[in-house]
Amino acid sequence: MNEVEAQTPWHEWQEEYRHGAFLIFPPEDVRAVVDALRWRYDATSASYSQAHVSLSEPLTSPLTKEQTLEITTALSNVAPFEVRYGPLRTFEPHPGVTYAIGPEDTFFNLRDVVHTTSPFAGREKRRATIPPHMTIAEFITIERSRELLAELSDTVLSGTFWCGHIVYAVPDVTFNFRSVSQIPLGGRGHPS
């Protein structure tokens, strides 16, 4: 039994993430600002992961070396790109406040390339139409979501960062996502 299997009980929704997913992590300077907001407005969500943009469906088994190579090859034709974060948005009727992420067409293309690889073969893509976003708060009420959006919209800055790789991240026993490997875009370098 591995460390994840021996962990304390997770919520039912967390179980499907047992083997991780692909994420985009912003650089440290952006992550620090967004993480400060996450800890202030939704410590539960912040405790699970650093600021990130979810990219893929959860994996159904650990990623193998062969699958990592396959995904690296698939991403060799996807050019690195500049990610735009902001303005803030909500997803009513679901609670939460997030940064919008753009350009959406570039993000959706990257998601589609990842989902054409064997770890996702034959799988329903339940999150395929969810707009890209970087969460500030999600475990709050709809009413608090509206208040927080109004409170932060004029004070939280938007910005950009460079995306040159994606991250395979897996939750530890406390459901805190940790980077296992990075896979470069555009064939620059090797997975680490």
What would the mean pLDDT of 172-176 be, rounded to a whole number? 82
Q: Write down the mean pLDDT value for the chain.
A: 89
Q: Which fold has domain 12-184?
A: Cyclic Phosphodiesterase; Chain: A, (3.90.1140)
pLDDT given for residue 4 in this prediction: 44
Higher pLDDT, 192 or 173: 173
Of the two residues 6 and 171, the one the predictor is more confident about is: 171
The strand order across the sheet containing 81-91 reads: 133-137, 94-102, 81-91, 159-163
The torsion region of residue 184 among left (phi > 0), alpha (psi -120 to 50) and beta comes to beta
188 backbone dihedrals φ, ψ, rounded to 5°: -90, 105
Residue 35: alpha-carbon gap to chain centroid:
13
Q: Residue 53 in contact with residue 166, Cβ under 8 Å?
A: no
Residue-wise pLDDT for 66-82, tens only, equals: 999 999 999 999 999 99
Alpha-carbon gap, residue 76 to 78, rounded angstroms: 6
Residue 8: pLDDT band (50, 70, 90) is: low
